[in-house]
């Protein structure tokens, strides 16, 4: 399947500061992609560029082979649920469905009604009287019933309790299986991403630090402990040292045969945190800020 998102040297600058910088990324189709990174890393900026709400300062971005928001056909192919799952407070649930039908050429009215019924959302309830979780579900329903090829969700579960979060993600997985859509989903909750996603992008300090299939990422990162300053195999992610021992997180393919290393497995969360820790030097960041 073709790339759902392709970025080349993509950057977005506000004033002197890049919110996203030097982003070169190719996300293959048919995946549920998790986008993770600390606050202010540039996740929403990347997603807003992907849906055409922002214009790049430098570089290019293509979504499903076209420029974001470049035509009605392109708009119809991409569903977007922004952060805080915005709905119209004074419109009822039913009004939202009608609006969805009017605005989207491929609107699946049956799917929308069935989902809303199953969720038990009264059609005459105004959005402002729904709970945060119910609003998130309404926004997801609008996104799915549009029948997009790609659904982009910016922190959709942030306001949900653990049970509602799990139900929301299960619903999303069902929609993915039934309608063959690709999804890009940002979240701070690595455990949710681990359960839901099969592809991961880690953004830190406005840059993509890691991107790839989830299984490959988990299968190729290890923690190595051994004598201090012994050269480590593979690509270094982080290093810690005591007087006598060094501990490295490295990316390495293949078995570690050297018996001087103790090899520890890493969870996805360990790996993501290691990449978040590996930040540019403060001096370099200051330089970047005034460039
Ligand atoms: N409209 C704007 N004007 C100026 N700076 C902005 C604007 N929008 C975002 N930024 C800055 O760009 C950087 C990236 O912001 P962005 O919202 O993309 O991060 P994020 O990874 O989505 O963060 P969070 O996890 O907190 O939602 C931040 O430093 C932010 O302050």
**Which pLDDT score, from 0 to 100, does residue 258 have?**
84
Residues 45 and 55: their CA atoms lie apart, in Å, by 10
Lowest pLDDT segment from 56-60, 211-215, 274-278: 274-278
* Mean pLDDT calculated for residue range 262-267: 93
**Which pLDDT score, from 0 to 100, does residue 283 have?**
39
Tell me the fold of 3-215.
Rossmann fold (3.40.50)
Is the confidence at residue 169, as pLDDT, over 60?
A: yes
Averaged confidence pLDDT in the chain: 90
* Mean pLDDT calculated for residue range 78-88: 86
Predicted confidence band of residue 12 (pLDDT cuts 50, 70, 90): very high
| Angle between the N-to-C axes of helices 109-119 and 93-103, in degrees from 0 to 180, rounded to the nearest 10 | 160
Out of 42, 49, 275, mutate this one to test ligand 1's pocket (max ligand atoms within 8 Å of CB): namely 42
| Ligand 1 contacts CB of residue 187 (under 6 A) | no
Say how many Å lie between the CA of residue 279 and the centre of ligand 1.
Answer: 17
Backbone φ/ψ region at 167: left (φ over 0), alpha (ψ -120 to 50), beta: alpha
Q: Give me the residues paired with residue 116 across strands.
A: none
Domain ranges of the chain: 3-215, 220-277
Question: Atom 25 in ligand 1: which residue has the minimum CA distance?
Answer: 39
Provide, rounded to the nearest whole percent, the portion of the chain with pLDDT above 90: 67
**Which pLDDT score, from 0 to 100, does residue 1 have?**
58
Name the strand (E) or helix (H) holding 24: strand 17-28
| Ligand 1 contacts CB of residue 64 (under 6 A) | no
Enter the pTM of the model. 0.89
Residues 97 and 109: their CA atoms lie apart, in Å, by 8
Structure-token pair, residue 68: 């974001």
**Which pLDDT score, from 0 to 100, does residue 113 have?**
94
Helix intervals (H) in 104-161 = 109-119, 132-145
**Which pLDDT score, from 0 to 100, does residue 287 have?**
41
DSSP class per residue in 120-185: T--TT-BGGGS-HHHHHHHHHHHHHHT--SEEEEESTTTTS-HHHHHHHHHHHHHHHHHH--EEEE
| Ligand 1 contacts CB of residue 19 (under 6 A) | yes
Out of 45, 50, 84, 207, mutate this one to test ligand 1's pocket (max ligand atoms within 8 Å of CB): namely 45
Is the confidence at residue 286, as pLDDT, over 80?
A: no
Predicted confidence band of residue 290 (pLDDT cuts 50, 70, 90): very low
Residue 228 has φ and ψ, to the nearest 5°, of -55, 135
């Amino acid at each position: 399947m073709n790339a759902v998102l392709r970025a080349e040297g993509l950057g977005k600058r506000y004033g002197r500061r890049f919110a996203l910088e030097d982003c070169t990324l190719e996300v293959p189709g048919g995946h549920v992609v998790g986008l993770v990174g600390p606050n202010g890393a540039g996740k929403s900026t990347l997603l807003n560029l992907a849906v055409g709400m922002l214009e790049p300062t430098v570089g290019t971005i293509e979504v499903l082979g076209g420029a974001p928001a470049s035509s009605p056909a392109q708009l119809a192919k991409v569903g977007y649920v922004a952060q805080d799952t915005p709905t119209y407070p004074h419109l009822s649930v039913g009004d939202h469905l009608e609006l969805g039908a009017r605005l989207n050429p491929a609107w699946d009215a049956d799917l929308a009604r069935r989902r809303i019924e199953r969720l038990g959302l009264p059609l005459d309830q105004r959005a402002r009287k729904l709970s945060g979780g119910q609003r998130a579900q309404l926004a997801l329903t609008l996104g799915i019933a549009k029948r997009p090829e790609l659904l982009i969700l910016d922190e959709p579960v942030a306001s949900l309790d653990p049970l509602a979060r799990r139900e929301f993600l299960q619903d999303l997985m069902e929609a993915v299986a039934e309608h063959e859509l690709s999804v890009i989903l940002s979240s701070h909750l690595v455990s949710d991403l681990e359960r839901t996603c099969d592809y991961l992008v880690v953004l830190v300090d406005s840059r993509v630090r890691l991107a790839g299939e989830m299984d490959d990422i988990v299968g190729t990162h290890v923690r190595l402990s051994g004598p201090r300053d012994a050269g480590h195999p593979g690509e270094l992610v982080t290093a810690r040292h005591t007087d006598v021992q060094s501990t490295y997180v490295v990316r390495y393919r293949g078995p570690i045969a050297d018996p001087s290393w103790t090899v520890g497995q890493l969870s996805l969360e360990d790996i993501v945190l290691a990449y978040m820790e590996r930040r540019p030097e403060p001096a370099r960041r200051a330089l970047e800020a005034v460039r």
